[in-house]
Structure formats: structure tokens, C-alpha cells
Amino acid sequence: MLVKLLHDKGMRSEHAYTAGFISIGLTLLTWQGSRRIEQKGEERADRMSIFVGEWAPTFFALGLALANYENKTFKH
């Protein structure tokens, strides 16, 4: 089980939630930075920020899975 492995390696739900919020900020920074630097225009900036933005839901889902595992593990 992936969640158990991550938990055993020291990852906690708070870490995953923090990574999700950092991902949201990184999405905005990537979008703004790419719009300013790239010569290919806004289209490429949008694609790059969407790619980074897809990480946030994954981290939040992982945070929920870890929180559920932590609740089950520490209640028994």
C-alpha cells in the first residue's frame, strides 16, 4: 500500500497539504514567469501552468489518504 509506505517513510498529511498549497503558488509564478520570458506567447504559458497546477489536487488527495490512514492507525 502506497499510503502506508509513505507514512512509514515519515510523510504526514500536513506535508502533502503544504505541498498542495505550494503547488498553487508555483502555478501562479510559473504562469507569470513564462508569460514574461517566453517568446511563444500566452499559449505556452498557459500549458506550463496547467501542468504544474495539476499537482495540487494530487497532493490534496494524498493528504486525505494519509489523514485517513493516520486516524485509523492512531485510534487503535
Q: Given pLDDT bands bounded at 50, 70 and 90, which one contains residue 40?
A: low
* C-alpha span between 66 and 50 (Å, rounded): 25
pLDDT of residue 46: 76
Domain ranges of the chain: 11-75
Q: Higher confidence at residue 44 or residue 6? A: 6
* C-alpha span between 60 and 23 (Å, rounded): 10
Please write the tens of the pLDDT for every residue from 18-35. 999 999 999 999 888 877
